Structure 1
Amino acid sequence: MSEQRSQNILLWLVAIGFFMETLDATIVNTALPSMAKSLGESPLLMQSVVIAYSLTIAIVIPASGWIADRFGTRKVFFSAILLFSFGSLACAFSQTLSQLVVSRVLQGMGGAMMMPVGRLAVLRAFPNEGFLRAISFVTIPALIGPLIGPTLGGWLVQFASWHWIFLINIPVGILGCIATYIYMPDSRGPERRHFDIPGFLMLSSSMVCISFALDGLSELGFQQATVMMLLIFGLASLCAYWLHARKSTEPLFSLQLFGSQSYTIGLMGNLFARIGSSSMPFLIPLLLQVSLKFTPFEAGMTMIPVALAGIFAKRLATPLILRLGYRNVLVGNTLCVGLAMASFSLFSLSQPGWLRLIQLLFFGTVNSIQFTAMNTLTLKDLETKLASSGNSLFSMIQMLAMSFAVAAAGALLSTFAGHYGFSDEGAYALQAFKATFICMGVITCSSAWIFWQLPPDLKDSSTEPVEAV
């Protein structure tokens, strides 16, 4: 077989892996009420299904590069697809919420290695000028995954069952394993790098404890003392990592990354701004089904305007930044994103459909501009020697923000549902959702203070949209 054909098959293989991971990050959201009914749980207490997946990816991402260098891209990518497929099968046959959460952790472990290891394989197969074209090709399916995820999930739930949102991964996974074994090059790092195990444990402990503390306020039913202990332990672990990274010669993530003002502000802004916006794919389908009695398919279709508006708005960020500068764009647009989220508190059965459509289109537009501007700001000034580490930390922060977003939204939803305390689930849930949307909007607006710290004249004549995948 020619080298050109092998490289083309490699691109398709990595692209499908990217698609599987991003699809499963969103396909579950529309199916949560049906899952809850099947498993005998409350639909308002199902966020752990989403958190388990995104948090696991955030934890494993820092180790994925070292694992690929140590064992080779072919073995690791093959194992990642196999583990992801096995986790999908386990999800489909889960009989309890606990079993489903454990299965989602297995899925996340596989998914966490698919994307960075696939990107690494493409980098080594297409060096220099060929890499940009290759990585652009493989990231297109990763952008399509979130677009069709909610709708496909709703369609499968309504016309088959929620089990099929996981079972569809099995044939793809089998073909992926075969193709990986035959076509994936088994490249390794040029030298054995030291892996910062203490730093990895400290950082992982911090992420897990903070996520459990947030989720413990709602689904897990932790007492306030337990939540406080988890938060303190999580923050202490984070501080311990910072002190460890200062004196370590090979830390997991070098503190030199934070020598760049744009990277530091972009990273922190991404974390806190995404805590609000990343909760919307979880909250909106849940509201539509639980309180407004939409079918799963109707709820999934409602998310299409958000995705389509996001695609068409991708190119708006660059001219806005060139004209107004990063600070003005990000501060103003962050406030718009927060207000758009708060406006979802107006959702009701009596609301005109055209008004709901305008809200969704507006949110999709400003949210797309937000992601493009934040991503470009974060990565644009990274030094070459820090690019790999900086991108890995950035990917981890994105998945961590998704985990925190769903945990925080779930905690607020549970608190407000208990506060309103109506006997009819739909009635109290609607009031709880309204209050939760307003709170998540306020959280997003508050992150504008982070972007306000940027220099007012910061612009970049070479700005190009950056898709973080």
Structure 2
Amino acid sequence: MLKPRRRGIASVNAEIRDGIVPAASALAPARDPGGPDTSGPNYRVVALIVASALFMEFVDATVLATALPTMARDFGVRAQDMSIALTSYLLALAIFIPASGLLADRFGSRTVFRAAIALFMVGSLACGQAPTLELIVLARFVQGMGGAMMIPVGRLVLLRSVAKQDMVNAMSWLLVPALIGPIVGPPLGGFIVTYLDWRWIFYINLPIGLIGLWLVTRYIANFREKDVAPFDGPGFVLSGLSLGCLLFGFEMASRAGKGPLALGLIAIGTAAGVLYIRHAKGRGGAILDLTLLKDRTFRLSVIAGSVTRITQGAQPFLLPLMMQVGFGFSAARSGTITVATAVGSLAMKAAAPRVLRRFGFRRTLIWNGVIATAGYATCGLFSPNWPTWAMFGILAFSGFFMSLQFTAYNTIAYDGIEPRQMSSATAFYSTFQQLMLSLGICVAAVALHLAMLVHGSAHATLGDFSAAFWVVTAISLGATIWNMRFANDAGAQISGHVAAHESSGDMEAAKE
């Protein structure tokens, strides 16, 4: 009998970022070569420290989405122009995530983790003090630099602190605060904006960050690698230039009178991307390893997942704006409705393993993707006359199925990746993950702007939001073409779908 090839599983930080609560069986990432044989006595504390960083980051992101219309009024800009405050943060994640692992190997995981928390705190303080949109965009970029190092390095800390037999237990401790963040965020944001001042959204990060710095210093060891590959400086510059120019080019395209600037940025970003591909082709140690795309399953997961994330990125931008600007709801009421997507994601936790075992990855991705996308398309039919329970139910339904979709993408992506490539693969996948979430916001802003031009309205109306929802969901529906290209037995050893079928066949053969 052939021994099955060792399989890697998706990184937990990527799953959480997509609003995913994976099953326990999918929570064991590929072991880091430096991991211990036995866990230390405080490994649960280490998991909770990393989880607190997740909590701080995700609460900040979900709270901010609820506050955008109020911030727009204070800055004297249109509500849809605030999309750049979300995009700049996600852009920083996309640029700096690839470098986070190398920085941790070179300077030590505790050193980089503390620096990441401190940088996130500095960015938070700057956001709270920002008097203009331009300055808050810059401050959000600084926050993103801290977030880009915080989550991947936190994952490395956990992998190097916890033995394999304790990993599922540690991950369950890690997930509890991380799951609470997206659920608490929208109503908390609504409360702060309605009864306090939106700047407190950023100030609440400061005491959490100070406690985190003390805990990291006390409980986390400073793991370092002896042999560190040279930093790919040219690749970092070219990839950062490409991502930055492309995203801000798309962002500028949503603004009146910025067409020439947008085209120029997109052209520069495209040229830098071509130069990076030439630089990275056949090169070992490239900051984004393009050779990973030779693996068919990884390539399809990247492409299909990227197209689907257009909707996932657009949804938290469009929904609060539609409810507050289009419906006239208060921030507090908007937050209590939009929290439904996180509730749906949480409910998916127990269902995902059974669904994948029953139907396999390919059929799940095809049909579940259509259902999830159609659910979010229904948001374009929302109106102020809809009962709250109906909107909540549809959003919970959509969050459930979209979360299942990303659980499948994030798990099957690593099916054929060797353990020695896992670090590069998670960096590559996480980078594209953040890039497409940012692009989703940009596409939503552009679609909203174009709908306003067609309707001749100076301010976004309910019809403009409906059109924007249908544009982004139509794009994401295109992922079905790529989902159909997965092999029928893709991820069979992970899901147990084919394995169970073959086992049944073996039993029948034995009876004969």
* TM-score category, normalised to shorter length: over 0.9
Pick the aligned partner of 1:442 from 474, 494, 501: 474
Separation of aligned partners in 2, 1:134 and 1:190: 26
List alignment gaps of at least 5 residues for structure 1: 465-469
Q: Does the 8 A contact of 2:337 with 2:391 survive in 1?
A: no
1:365 equivalent to 2:397? Answer: no
Q: Which amino acid aligns with 2:72?
A: A
Q: Which amino acid aligns with 2:100?
A: S
Separation of aligned partners in 2, 1:211 and 1:376: 27
Specify the alignment match of 1:281 in structure 2.
316
Q: Does the 8 A contact of 2:119 with 2:142 survive in 1?
A: yes
SS of 1:21's partner is helix
Specify the alignment match of 1:229 in structure 2.
264
Deviates more, 1:197-206 or 1:245-254: 245-254
1:339 equivalent to 2:374? Answer: yes
> What is the Cα deviation at residue 459 of structure 1?
4.8
Structure 1 residues 221 and 149: alpha-carbon distance in aligned structure 2, compared to 1, 3 A threshold: farther
Deviates more, 1:375-384 or 1:225-234: 225-234
Pick the aligned partner of 1:108 from 134, 137, 144: 144
Specify the alignment match of 2:11 in structure 1.
none
1:72 equivalent to 2:127? Answer: no
Deviates more, 1:64-73 or 1:180-189: 180-189
CA deviations over 1:215-248 (Å, ceiling 9, x no partner): 011247422x432332233223223222222232
SS of 2:350's partner is helix
Specify the alignment match of 1:27 in structure 2.
63
Deviates more, 1:189-198 or 1:97-106: 189-198
Q: Which amino acid aligns with 2:327?
A: L
Q: Which amino acid aligns with 2:269?
A: G
Specify the alignment match of 2:35 in structure 1.
none
Specify the alignment match of 2:176 in structure 1.
140
Specify the alignment match of 1:467 in structure 2.
none
Q: Does the 8 A contact of 1:337 with 1:444 survive in 2?
A: no
Structure 1 residues 143 and 400: alpha-carbon distance in aligned structure 2, compared to 1, 3 A threshold: farther
Matches within 5 A, 1:203-242: 203-219=239-255, 221-223=257-259, 225-242=260-277
Separation of aligned partners in 1, 2:457 and 2:290: 50
Matches within 5 A, 1:303-452: 303-422=338-457, 425=459, 428-452=460-484
Specify the alignment match of 2:154 in structure 1.
118
Deviates more, 1:214-223 or 1:362-371: 214-223
1:85 equivalent to 2:121? Answer: yes
SS of 2:164's partner is coil
Separation of aligned partners in 2, 1:374 and 1:244: 28
Deviates more, 1:51-60 or 1:140-149: 140-149
Aligned length: 458
Pick the aligned partner of 2:164 from 128, 132, 146: 128
Specify the alignment match of 1:151 in structure 2.
187
Q: Does the 8 A contact of 1:75 with 1:186 survive in 2?
A: yes
1:243 equivalent to 2:278? Answer: yes
Separation of aligned partners in 2, 1:240 and 1:140: 43
Q: Does the 8 A contact of 2:360 with 2:495 survive in 1?
A: no
Separation of aligned partners in 1, 2:235 and 2:438: 21
Q: Does the 8 A contact of 2:345 with 2:399 survive in 1?
A: yes
1:453 equivalent to 2:489? Answer: no
Q: Does the 8 A contact of 1:335 with 1:444 survive in 2?
A: no
Q: Does the 8 A contact of 2:40 with 2:161 survive in 1?
A: no
> What is the Cα deviation at residue 183 of structure 1?
2.4
> What is the Cα deviation at residue 355 of structure 1?
3.2
Q: Does the 8 A contact of 1:263 with 1:381 survive in 2?
A: yes
RMSD across aligned C-alpha pairs, in angstroms?
1.9
Q: Which amino acid aligns with 1:452?
A: M
> What is the Cα deviation at residue 192 of structure 1?
2.4
Deviates more, 1:452-461 or 1:174-183: 452-461
List alignment gaps of at least 5 residues for structure 2: 1-38, 497-512
Q: Which amino acid aligns with 1:433?
A: F
CA deviations over 1:272-327 (Å, ceiling 9, x no partner): 10011221111111100001011101101002222112211233333333333322
* TM-score normalized by the length of structure 2: 0.85
